[in-house]
Structure 1
Amino acid sequence: MKKLGTAVAAAAVVGAAVTGCSSSDSGGSGSADGVVKAAIITSGPVNDVGWNQGMVEGAEKLEAEGLIDLTVVQQDSGATSEQIAQIVTDLAEDGNQLIVGHSFNYGEPIKGIIADYPDVLFAYPGGFGDITANLADYSQPFYQGSFLTGILAGDLTETGILAGTAGFEIPVCKAQIEAFADGARLTYKGPGEIQLRPSYIGGWSDAAAQTLEAVNALVDQGADQFSTCGVDAATIEGAKQRGVGVAGYTMDQTPLAPENVVSSVVWNLDEVLRAMIADVEAGNVDPAKYYEVDITEGGLDVVINPAFVDKISPEAMALFEEYREKIMAGEFEVEYKGGD
């Protein structure tokens, strides 16, 4: 695997492209040994124990299987559209057959590139089926796992007030937070009903200060169990500081706050990438697909922090396992409340 750091990413890819293929022969066999040349552009550190690390580790699994020749370009959430467009162009010129811009914000700059490289499959996580020509989208079915984390949160909450933090009120995040509350309603035995208080920050990992401020305000309002979408690091830090519970996002985030992370929704991105690689190998890059690899297909799971196993009631644990099995078997469908 080739890793290109943030500061030198564009220059390094340009340098590689000098000896790579041109736009006229990009795609094709991609690499001499027949494996697919694939590139991931992150939107933050590759060791964030979350969104970016999960994608990189998923790609590394496929590389270990001999399916891809992997390049990772580490960028941060402050990268401009012009920077992303240049990096994507350089990666295409270097012969990459699959280029994944792993950020909601990368969709628009990638759209300006795809026509020049019709044999390359590009992808980004819009999460709502925004596909065009050879640009794919891939879903983030976090709401399915979030329902299960909510079952645990409903048993643990002392106030009945749940909170959700997210970068923006986009469908995938709204659905996740709403499902968290729906799961909690199955196990909450306190007075009154579960109250849900979402907070949409207006930024992603670059909005850590605003996220911490929001967490503090929500705890002051009585929230003691949190779900988080895209602003997980700061939310978990806030939960740790205030001593409340939180559900991890995209990876097992227990290491970030072992006394506060109750459970985590784990996104198995190797399965998402595997579906893309199969299409690249078959030449099915245009029209691109909306890749929906949900919990029934192994794209998602939930893990519980062992430190909380004895704190969760046997009844709630049994309900968690019952619904987990039903959802994975396709016998129960979590309601999607993300809107249009």
Structure 2
Amino acid sequence: MYKNLAGRALVAWVTACFLLSAHSRAHSQPQPAPPLKIGFVYVTPLTEAGWARQHDEGRKAVETALGARVKTTYVENVAEGADAERVIRDLAQQGHRLIFTPSFGYMEPTLKVARDFPEVKFESITGYKTAPNVATANARYYEGRYLAGVAAGRMTKSNVAGYVAGFPIPEVLQGINAFTLGMRSVNPKATVRVVWLNEWFDPPKERDAAMTLFNQSVDVIAFHTGSTAVMAAAQERGKLAIAYHSDMRKIAPDAQVVAVTHQWGGYYTQRARAVLDGSWKSANLWGGVKEGMIRVGDFGTKVPQAVQQEVLARQQDIAAGRLQPFRAVAAEVRDNEGRTVIAKGSQLSDEQILRMNWLAEGVQGRIAR
């Protein structure tokens, strides 16, 4: 009897020691770090092509590159202003340690929330104000616009292009002017008619503006808005169009001349890695063709090989620094009121480009105030 009790006690003691040892080993082994929660805020609905789509492709690229080390989420169709501040704050409160806010009107709400969450990193995309925990980044869309203008200048028959524009901020003016300069570099007779919407995303208004321009001899159209409505209008009317943000051949298979796309995956992945390894710092990046953030391609079936090759060659020139859209080489560049804005033999500095407030010679329209 005594031996049985002693034996049982020994077994119990050995078992307890084993369990305690296993428990200790489990807790002494390093536990995997929780995934970095990354939030994205989109100013328009997430559609199959357009501004928000390109940023969402960037989000997916982060997931593909970093796998289980990250967990991403997004909120779409968030108006600039009070709604944006609320959504950005909610993401910070939910434990997101990196938040991307890709819209110019998100800049101030981002800065406001960032002051209350100093441990969270914020990326204001297209903004220009930084803080210790707020970085800014943007793409040199104007480089792609210039190249699209070259294609449009070769393809137009009427020598009249149209441009459906959102708001008259410097980024949009850069695009209109670069497009016009690109067109007129190969077709000096070309003019560009602009319609201002004061909206980023309003498909019915975008469509109406395109139709109005087509009724004014426009046979090739570009746009700086968030939907595919202009492309669909061009397809319907048998006109040509420059896709923006995304390749839009699915929407306008016959109309698309070329697409100016922006690529965010590389930048977003780089910044997420920096948070993970502790090297993230506030910065201000403005990248273009050279950095792989802007790409022109996805030519339509109506574009001759010679035109495609010319555009791609100019794209290589921009990447190599041989071509700068806002450089006056053979003659001075004037605005559409006759004033010299780039002297012959000079080029605009980044600061001057970022403050652009004029329309180039050849643009028919005024800056909406």
Which band: TM-score by shorter chain?
A: 0.7 to 0.9
Question: Does 2:200 correspond to 1:204?
Answer: yes
Are residues 198 and 70 of structure 1, via their aligned partners in 2, closer, same or farther at CA, if it must alter by over 3 Å?
Answer: farther
Which residue is equivalent to 1:312?
304
Which residue is equivalent to 2:174?
175
Which residue is equivalent to 1:295?
289
Question: Does 2:254 correspond to 1:259?
Answer: yes
Query: What amino acid maps onto 1:329 in structure 2?
Result: A
Q: Secondary structure at the match of 2:45?
A: coil
Q: How far apart are 1:160 and its partner, in Å? A: 0.7
Cα displacement string for residues 192-213 of structure 1 (whole angstroms, at most 9, x for unaligned residues): 71111122211111x2222222
Q: How far apart are 1:178 and its partner, in Å? A: 1.5
**In 2: Cα distance, 1:279 partner to 1:334 partner:** 33
Which residue is equivalent to 1:148?
147
Q: Secondary structure at the match of 1:88?
A: helix
Q: Find the partner of 1:195 among 191, 197, 213.
A: 191
Which residue is equivalent to 2:72?
71
Question: Does 2:216 correspond to 1:221?
Answer: yes
Larger radius of gyration: 2
Across the aligned residues of Structure 1 and Structure 2, the Cα RMSD in angstroms comes to 2.4
Q: Secondary structure at the match of 1:106?
A: helix
Q: How far apart are 1:39 and its partner, in Å? A: 1.0
Q: How far apart are 1:298 and its partner, in Å? A: 1.0
TM-score for both structures, normalised by structure 1: 0.80
Are residues 53 and 318 of structure 1, via their aligned partners in 2, closer, same or farther at CA, if it must alter by over 3 Å?
Answer: closer
**In 2: Cα distance, 1:249 partner to 1:46 partner:** 15
Cα displacement string for residues 3-54 of structure 1 (whole angstroms, at most 9, x for unaligned residues): xxxxxxxxxxxxxxxxxxxxxxxxxxxx954653211111223333111111
Which residue is equivalent to 1:123?
123
Query: 2:59–2:72: 8 Å Cα contact kept in structure 1?
Result: no
Q: Give the stretch that moved more between structures: 263-272 or 59-68.
A: 59-68
**In 2: Cα distance, 1:105 partner to 1:153 partner:** 30
Q: How far apart are 1:307 and its partner, in Å? A: 1.3
Query: What amino acid maps onto 1:234 in structure 2?
Result: A
Q: Secondary structure at the match of 1:58?
A: helix
- Overall identity of the aligned pairs, in %: 23
**In 2: Cα distance, 1:64 partner to 1:313 partner:** 35
Are residues 211 and 186 of structure 1, via their aligned partners in 2, closer, same or farther at CA, if it must alter by over 3 Å?
Answer: same
**In 1: Cα distance, 2:192 partner to 2:120 partner:** 43
Q: Give the stretch that moved more between structures: 104-113 or 247-256.
A: 104-113
**In 2: Cα distance, 1:133 partner to 1:230 partner:** 31
Question: What is the aligned length?
Answer: 300
Query: 2:63–2:71: 8 Å Cα contact kept in structure 1?
Result: yes
**In 1: Cα distance, 2:300 partner to 2:80 partner:** 41
TM-score for both structures, normalised by structure 2: 0.74
Question: Does 2:319 correspond to 1:325?
Answer: no
Query: 1:225–1:246: 8 Å Cα contact kept in structure 2?
Result: yes
Query: What amino acid maps onto 2:47 in structure 1?
Result: N
**In 1: Cα distance, 2:144 partner to 2:225 partner:** 15
Question: Does 2:265 correspond to 1:270?
Answer: yes
Are residues 283 and 119 of structure 1, via their aligned partners in 2, closer, same or farther at CA, if it must alter by over 3 Å?
Answer: farther
Query: 1:119–1:285: 8 Å Cα contact kept in structure 2?
Result: no
Cα displacement string for residues 103-133 of structure 1 (whole angstroms, at most 9, x for unaligned residues): 2222222222111111212123335x22234
